[in-house]
Amino acid sequence: MNDEAEFLKMINVLARVCDFELDKEVLAVYDKALCPHGYEKITNALKDIFVTRTSRDPFPSIAEILKTARLEVSVKSQADNISSIILATFRKWSTRYCGDPRFYEWFVEHNGELAWAVIQKMGGYNSLYEEWNLTKNLGILRAQIRDAAMSVIELAGVGQLWTPPALPESKNEKLNQLVGSAIKTIGGKNSG
């Protein structure tokens, strides 16, 4: 049996166990979304879901299948990785190279833009290095870097990494603006 046939067999078995109607259209959507990741990986994820599910679990979504296949890395895992990268860099380098433009190029090439953005969001390399050098509790600093990395990852994901934070406009202000413009519109019609 080839990988595609194995996938089709497993997804149909899982649908029957979950009492889920897997018609041709729904199967086509699942197939189109999942097949680019490789039938073998997806079939293994379906088997994992089948083995670990309880009798009340619904048929898994595409996102749940991809998560089980470990094809998507969580924001927390990415943030933990960035935190480790930054701390490892501090162990390897001191501040003597950080002013050199080649250091930035080296860092970004080996560790990525997101890790550099975290350093910038936390006050820059020298500031963060100094904090690392003076800290009594490395676990707290690691958690602070991880939290900053989670924020950077989420902001970068929606294209707002360098957008300054703004207070949301209150609902009352919006309502007053709408009412005010409606009154002006009505007033303009009545005066003519």
Range list of H helices, the chain: 3-17, 24-34, 39-52, 62-68, 75-92, 101-111, 113-121, 125-134, 138-157, 171-190
Domains of the chain, by residue range, sit at 3-68, 75-157
pLDDT in tens, 137-186: 889 999 999 999 999 999 998 888 888 887 666 666 766 677 777 666 66
Which residue bears the tokens 């080996």?
A: 110
Which residue bears the tokens 């991880």?
A: 146
pLDDT tens over the chain, length 192 residues: 798 899 999 999 999 989 899 999 999 999 999 988 889 999 999 999 989 888 888 999 998 998 888 766 778 889 999 999 999 888 887 666 667 778 888 889 988 899 999 999 999 888 888 888 888 888 999 999 999 999 999 999 888 888 888 766 666 676 667 777 766 666 655 554
What does pLDDT average to over the chain? Answer: 85
pLDDT in tens, 155-167: 998 888 888 887 6
14, 46 Cβ separation under 8 angstroms: yes
